[in-house]
Structure formats: C-alpha cells, structure tokens
Amino acid sequence: MPADDDSERQRVRRRDPRRHRSGRTSVRTIAIVNQKGGCGKTTSAINLAAVLAKQGVRTLLVDMDPQSHCAAGLGVPESRIETGIAEAMLSDLDHGFDPAPMLWQVMHGLDLLPSTMMLAGLESPDGGLYALPDRDRRLARVLQGCSARYDICLIDCSPSIGLLTYNALRASTQALIPVETGYFSLRGARRQWGTIQSLIERIARPIQCNMLPTLFNPESRLAARILEALHQHFPDHLLPMVVREHEPLREAASLGQPITEFAPGSEAEQDYVALARWVIDHPPQVQPELVDRRSATSVPPPQVQTSTRVGELALRMQAGFDASPPENRTPDQAGASETPSSTSGIFGEGRGTESGSDVAESDFGVIITDQGICFRQPGVPEQSMSISADFNGWSTSATPMRFDRGRGCFEAVVPLPPGQYRYQVVIDGRSRIDPYNESTLTGETGASTNCFTLNPTS
C-alpha cells in the first residue's frame, strides 16, 4: 500500500486507459442499505470490501452516506478529500467523465469513492440533483464510467429514503440489508424489507435482496430466538451466515483500519470471509444493464394498497419522484398550492384526524417560544420526522423531531439567533413543504422552501 511522507494513504490519480478491459458495460453492484442506525451497515460495507480485495476481487466502495464514515473507517484523511461522489453525480456525464481523480486507493485491489460535505445538501431544494432530468440515474452513469476497472462495486447507502438511496438501488444488481439481532430487530426487519421492496417495485426491474444478521451475540438466548424468527419470516432471503458482535471491529474502525489489517485471521475477519465467499458464489440471477433506460419519471407506478405503511411509503416515493422540478412560483402561489388538505396522510391533519392530535391546527408550523423556535407537526408514532434547514446544512437527520404522545404531535425546539431562515419538514426520509406555514421562498432550481424571520428582541 503506497504511503507518503506523513504515512497517509495516497490519492489515486488517473489510471492508464490501456489497463481498462474492453467489452464491459456494467459492474456487479451491491447496495448495502438500511435506514436504521447502529445495524452494522458501514462496518459491513468496509470490511466486506476489504476481504473481497484481499481475495483478489477488484473492488470499488462508494460512500453514499453523508456522514462519510467509510473514509474514517479506512484511514482516508478527511481534510485531504477535495471531491467525491456528490461532485461526480453533478458532473457533465455526457462528455467522457472520468472519476479517477476522485478515487482513493486504500489497499491493493480496493478503491474508495468518498463522500464530501456536498453530499449532505445534494437532496436539498437547491442542491442541484433534483433539477436534473436523470436525477434518479446519476450514480448509475458515474459507475458506468469506471466499471471496466472493477469486478464488484459496494455502495454504502444513505440512512434516509430519498434520491440518494433511490440512485443507489437503481444502479445496483443486488441489495444487502444488515439486520441487527437485537430486541427491536424483527419488527424493524419487516419494515425495512417492505420499504426496500416498494422502492424496487418503483424501479420496475429485479434486484436480488438478502438480509444479513449482524451484531449477533452467540451467548444471548434473545439473539438466538430473534435469529430463528428471522429464518421463519425470511426463509428465502436470510443469508446462511451471521456477523457476530466483535470488539476488534470497533477497535479497527477507531484506528481507520479494515479488519483484514487490524486483526487478520481473527473471528471477526472470518465472519466477513464467509460473507465474501457467499457473494462470490452467488451472483445475481438477473443481470440488468447498469443504466436502465427507464427513469423514475417514466416507470409506471406500482399497484399498492394505501392502507398499509409500505403502501403509504410507496405512494410518497411515487409522488416525490414522478414530479418534475416545480415551476417558479411566488410565495403566495406556493403557499396556496401547499395546503394541508393536499398533503393529507403525509403530514396528517388537525384535530379529529387519525393522528389523534390534541393541538389546534393554528398551533402547527413554526412557533416562537422562550426556549427557541418550535417546529410542530401532527403525525403518528410510527412516523419519523425531522427538520432540514439552512441552519443545519440541509441535513435530514441533524434536527430530529420528538413525538409527544400526550399531545399527539411531533416537536423540535431549536435556539436560533435573529435572522431569516429556510426549512422543509422531513417525513420518513422525504423532504416536504410545511403546509402550516404559508411563507415560502423559491430557489434557483424552482424548488420551494418554507421560511420565517426571527426578529431581535427589544
């Protein structure tokens, strides 16, 4: 592994094009996806990639998680990462785009296409991705440009449902869903499976999906029962191996090393060797082209039942990806079109709806309190909500909203200095206009956001 004078990993420069294999139109691409934190998603992506490379499989790891943990876990200095997957997806892909200057070689046979701060804002109204006509296929097109160099590409997916995850699934031929074998894992596994399947239906082409049990404690009777339940519920999709809970995996990540370097030959490495062996021996039965000619705007919507949580999510995704970038509208026009009735079932409604909120409709939206700005929305406990705003870098997870069971609504209180702010409400991973705030602004791409002004106190 090359190193510079500071013993840091060297950035890969443009490679000799004569090394590229001809006649190759796609690379086997596996999305590692789960919206639940702490399930071992990034740990599995890093260590599976390292084991595959150690076994001679030319591997590309793509970090589609805005938290950029792949670089940290592989010892790539964040301060030296200038460009990454976000910049690649916004590049001119019609004129011989070459991602080589963005790649980092972390070990022999393993390259990383890292995440940068720009990825966190890519899905924001003015992030640039939403305005592109092929916004759901940008990652697939990037990977097509470097597919001849690799045998397998692993994608560490974003932890939220949005365009980043949709891009990852559309670019993939397989999906691995890490499932923690903890107390809430069985219910979470069912929801995750339904979520991923609804997205795959929306893509309208087959993707082989499998579940990977992670953080398994062999001495825990609860973990054993949960693993057995997973076998019963997903007999055809649960992988025949588990990733056990190993302290060396945590230590390796803290030192920026894959398990192959930190503890070669350990039980932790052997778990990922077993996973790598299965991946190599079980290629997807269907190998679609990497770039599907049908985009999200042309694929017929799947037939779903709106009475189920999965059906509701599928319809939300359909609404989000079917829509073309909104036309430029004045704040008054935007406020008139984004009324509470037009988002029924997504934001919930006022008193007397299924949300069961005891808060008057006039108290939803943005409220100034002594503790700070209070964002309040109706909803149900099964939902997740957060605020994506300019004050948190348009992160979809930095400002979570807490469900108040007593009042039947979601709230988040944020102390802010005086000024004007823009925001959207994120519901189950999808950013939406707040229907309880008629003040909006329209960005350069035509996408609308809510806004409010906090005046100085006298």
Query: Per-residue pLDDT tens for 70-128?
Result: 999 999 988 889 889 999 999 888 877 788 889 999 999 999 999 988 888 887 777 78
Please, are residues 329 and 442 in contact by the beta-carbon 8 Å criterion? yes
Mean pLDDT of the chain: 77
What pLDDT was estimated at residue 454?
87
Q: Could you tell me where the beta strands, DSSP code E, fall in 22-90?
A: 28-32, 59-63
pLDDT digits (tens, 9 = 90+) for 353-374: 334 555 677 789 999 888 889 9
Q: Tell me the two tokens of residue 265.
A: 């030959």
- 252 versus 7: the higher-pLDDT residue is 252
Percent share of the chain, pLDDT over 90: 32
Most confident of 127-136, 231-240, 309-318: 231-240
Query: Residues 421, 391: contact at Cβ < 8 Å?
Result: yes
* Backbone φ, ψ for residue 426 (5° rounding): -105, 115
Predicted structure pTM score:
0.63
pLDDT of residue 375: 95
Rounded CA-CA distance 431/376 in Å is 15
Return the closest-CA partner of residue 266 out of 258, 277, 254, 278. Answer: 258
Domains and CATH numbers, the chain: 17-281 (3.40.50.300), 328-454 (2.60.40.10)
Q: How confident is the model at residue 9 (pLDDT cuts 50, 70, 90)?
A: very low
Kindly report, residue by residue over 30-48, the tens digit of the pLDDT.
999 887 777 888 999 999 9
Residue 351, C-beta contacts closer than 8 angstroms, at least 6 positions apart: 357, 358, 359, 360, 361
Q: Give me the pLDDT at residue 350, please.
A: 34
> Above 70 in pLDDT, residue 311?
no
pLDDT, average across residues 307-329: 38
**161-211, pLDDT tens digit by residue?**
778 888 999 999 899 999 888 766 666 777 778 777 877 777 777 888 999
Phi, psi torsion values for 386, nearest 5 degrees = -155, 175
Those residues whose C-beta lies under 8 Å from the C-beta of residue 16, and which sit 6 or more positions away, are: none
**Contact indicator for 38, 68 with CB cutoff of 8 Å:** no
What span, in angstroms and rounded, lies between the C-alpha atoms of 90 and 259?
33
